[in-house]
Amino acid sequence: METIFSRNKVEHPEPIKAEVQGQLPTWLQGVLLRNGPGMHTIGDTKYNHWFDGLALLHSFTFKNGEVYYRSKYLRSDTYNCNIETNRIVVSEFGTMAYPDPCKNIFAKAFSYLSHTIPEFTDNCLINIMKSGDDYYATSETNFIRKIDPQTLETLEKVDYSKYVAVNLATSHPHYDSAGNILNMGTSIVDKGRTKYLLFKIPSSVPEKEKKKSCFKHTEVVCSIPSRSLLQPSYYHSFGITENYIVFIEQPFKLDIVKLATAYIRGVNWASCLAFHKEDKTWFHFVDRKTKKEVSTKFYTDAMVLYHHMNAYEEDGHIVFDIVAYKDNSLYDMFYLKNLNKDFEENSKLTSIPACKRFVVPLQYDKDAELGSNLVKLPTSATAVKEKDGSIYCQPEILCEGIELPRVNYDYNGKKYKYVYAAEVQWSPVPTKIAKLNVQTKEMLHWGEEHCWPSEPIFVPSPGAREEDEGVVLTCVVVSEPNKAPFLLILDAKTFKELGRATVNVEMHLDLHGMFIPQNDLEAEME
Ligand SMILES: CC1=C(/C=C/C(C)=C/C=C/C(C)=C/C=O)C(C)(C)CCC1
Ligand SMILES: [Fe+2]
């Protein structure tokens, strides 16, 4: 059965003028660029999972009060191979594929006996990353693809593993104040020393090396050994504060032996991930200056998280906010067989996403009594010292039922107030977007009947003084047949609609993206 999720979307590479209603701020000039799966059927073959779909980039260009829409499939090697053979020949998260032996791009997949780690896909469908003046489509494998943010054309393929020993990397990098990328990846086959690497990609290269790419200058900031050599944790994002990296080693783990044998066993990559509910969740903090990990062992109960919201330091504590679950039902929910026409009634998550705030004391009285709470900030989050010197943390719940959190990035790593997110409650699709004040827990919402909004993105207005001075952008897919989707522009402060730009196309449900201000685009053209 074809549903909004699984129906193949047609690309619209030529700009389509949107119909604008309302008043868009005149300063809003640039491109909102987003990524997500757009094609799930190729010839007679179908992907099993929504996260498997071929990456479809789309953009809204804001120019002098007008809005133009475009969309274009990422011409990844995966896309080209699949389209050429008219079937799925490259394995994705939820679908194991058996390539045509005549095609050699992914020839390594055949040598699974000599290579522990299979050749992964370059179908970068999750997010967009900025590197200097360049933009990349990202996923969680070792490959990213450079793209042209204006024409949506696909450019070079970059293999992270050529520059840093990672087999997997997150699709949610961070940026420091100089625009350098900080990302984390997992090294699976480095002499049996499974570890997590934090690496830095500079935003520019020295003048005399102008021809070289920033990736050649990638440096490993630090490495954190995995608690288990054969089962590193899976992670989708991480957090940063001004002085620390926040990395959560959750008991949702990737089994390397299973991964190395998945191909011969005929099972998908997803089946190599397992939630160990009896295990603990470990917190790691790395000092960004000394590159050393904080030696105290901090942990909490078993949980699964994908998205960090934000993190900051306050009076000798690290405060970090995440969206967490009690189990891994989220990834199961997105099998296309579960997203059928009755999914709104039938598919409910078995655990609701909860925004959890953890507060961890970095400095505390070493003679503190066992069992006493070491948190000195006004919060219900606790951190209790145990006999063996480890510290057991419990969170404060900020709110429930939201996912795909975004903040004003100028406040990333700093004490902040606002999170913008999609409101999902128990369902896998958002029916509203929300603004949460993490200090007061007050919320504002936007929703309309049959509307499925995407991850909301905050864009600050020029010279903004307050954290929520600007607009929030979200793409809205309408579930009612023959109703056109639109880009919604809300005033970030009041969450009131400023305007909408309607485009009469069938738009895909997407995942993540970024707003590129006009000035940054001009820098890219130079
Ligand atoms: C291909 C591949 C992977 C793909 C993961 C993907 C595609 C995850 C998508 C996650 C999303 C969209 C989360 C949203 O919250 C793994 C498991 C890393 C490892 C094996 C190869
Ligand atoms: Fe994500």
Does the beta carbon of 244 lie inside 6 Å of ligand 1? no
Residue of 5, 96, 124, 126 best suited for mutating to test ligand 1, as the one with most atoms within 8 Å of CB: 126
Helix/strand number for the chain, H first, E second: 5, 38
**2 domain residue, yes or no:** no
Does the beta carbon of 51 lie inside 6 Å of ligand 1? yes
Does the beta carbon of 121 lie inside 6 Å of ligand 1? yes
For residue 306, which atom of ligand 1 is closest to its CA? 15
- Ligand 2 centre to CA of 241 (Å) is 19
Which pLDDT belongs to residue 291?
96
Does the beta carbon of 235 lie inside 6 Å of ligand 1? no
Spatial distance between the Cα atoms of 430 and 451, rounded to a whole number of angstroms: 9
Known binding-site residues for Fe cation equal 172, 236, 307, 512
pLDDT in tens, the chain (526 residues): 578 899 999 999 999 999 999 999 999 999 999 999 999 999 999 999 999 999 999 999 999 999 999 999 999 999 999 999 999 999 999 999 987 554 554 444 444 444 456 689 999 999 999 999 999 999 999 999 999 999 999 999 999 999 999 999 999 999 999 999 999 999 997 667 899 999 999 999 887 777 778 999 999 999 999 999 999 999 999 999 999 999 999 999 999 999 988 888 889 999 999 999 999 999 999 999 999 999 999 999 999 999 999 999 999 999 999 999 999 988 988 999 888 767 766 677 788 999 999 999 998 888 889 999 999 999 999 999 999 999 999 999 999 999 999 999 999 999 999 999 999 988 878 999 999 999 999 999 999 999 999 999 999 999 999 999 999 999 999 999 889 999 999 999 999 999 999 999 999 999 999 999 999 998 766 6
**7 domain residue, yes or no:** no
Which pLDDT belongs to residue 109?
46
Spatial distance between the Cα atoms of 190 and 197, rounded to a whole number of angstroms: 12
* Strands 252-254 and 244-249, sheet pairing: unpaired
Which pLDDT belongs to residue 117?
65
What is the pTM for the complete model shown? Answer: 0.95
| Atom 2 in ligand 1: residue holding the nearest Cα | 93
Q: DSSP letter at 233? A: B
Q: Which ligand is nearest to the CA of 188?
A: 1
ipTM, interface predicted TM-score of the complex: 0.94
Sign of CA dihedral 460, 462, 466, 471: negative
Q: Which ligand is nearest to the CA of 126?
A: 1
Known binding-site residues equal 172, 236, 307, 512
For residue 404, which atom of ligand 1 is closest to its CA? 15
Sign of CA dihedral 234, 237, 242, 248: negative
Which pLDDT belongs to residue 114?
40
- Ligand 1 centre to CA of 80 (Å) is 20
**1 domain residue, yes or no:** no
For residue 272, which atom of ligand 1 is closest to its CA? 17
Domain boundaries, position 134: 12-525
Q: Which ligand is nearest to the CA of 260?
A: 1
Q: Which ligand is nearest to the CA of 273?
A: 1
Spatial distance between the Cα atoms of 191 and 184, rounded to a whole number of angstroms: 19
Does the beta carbon of 168 lie inside 6 Å of ligand 1? yes
Does the beta carbon of 140 lie inside 6 Å of ligand 1? yes
Q: State the burial class of residue 276 (Cβ atoms within 10 Å of its Cβ: 0-12, 13-18, 19+).
A: middle
Does the beta carbon of 141 lie inside 6 Å of ligand 1? yes
Does the beta carbon of 92 lie inside 6 Å of ligand 1? yes
CA nearest neighbour of 49 among 381, 251, 332:
332
**6 domain residue, yes or no:** no
Residue of 88, 250, 259, 269 best suited for mutating to test ligand 1, as the one with most atoms within 8 Å of CB: 269
| CATH number, domain with residue 469 | 2.130.10
Does the beta carbon of 143 lie inside 6 Å of ligand 1? no
Q: Which ligand is nearest to the CA of 353?
A: 1
Does the beta carbon of 139 lie inside 6 Å of ligand 1? yes
For residue 234, which atom of ligand 1 is closest to its CA? 18
Which pLDDT belongs to residue 173?
98
Collapsing DSSP to helix, strand or coil, 495 comes out as coil
Tokens of 40: 């799930």
For residue 259, which atom of ligand 1 is closest to its CA? 20
Q: Which ligand is nearest to the CA of 262?
A: 1
Question: Where are the strands (E) in 40-171, listed by range?
Answer: 41-42, 45-46, 54-63, 66-73, 127-131, 134-138, 143-147, 154-159, 168-169
Spatial distance between the Cα atoms of 495 and 435, rounded to a whole number of angstroms: 8
Spatial distance between the Cα atoms of 145 and 137, rounded to a whole number of angstroms: 5
**377 domain residue, yes or no:** yes
| Atom 10 in ligand 1: residue holding the nearest Cα | 51
Tokens of 36: 């997500």
Domain total of the chain? 1
- Ligand 1 centre to CA of 235 (Å) is 9
**4 domain residue, yes or no:** no
For residue 121, which atom of ligand 1 is closest to its CA? 1
HEC readout, 52-84: HCEEEEEEEEEECCEEEEEEEECCCHHHHHHHH
Decide if 36 contacts 525 (C-beta within 8 A): no
| Atom 5 in ligand 1: residue holding the nearest Cα | 93
Q: State the burial class of residue 469 (Cβ atoms within 10 Å of its Cβ: 0-12, 13-18, 19+).
A: middle
Decide if 69 contacts 57 (C-beta within 8 A): no
**391 domain residue, yes or no:** yes
504 Cβ contact list (under 8 Å, min separation 6): 16, 484
Decide if 433 contacts 446 (C-beta within 8 A): yes
Cβ atoms within 10 Å of 346's Cβ, excluding its own: 10
- Ligand 2 centre to CA of 37 (Å) is 13
**387 domain residue, yes or no:** yes
| Atom 15 in ligand 1: residue holding the nearest Cα | 306
* Strands 391-394 and 298-300, sheet pairing: parallel
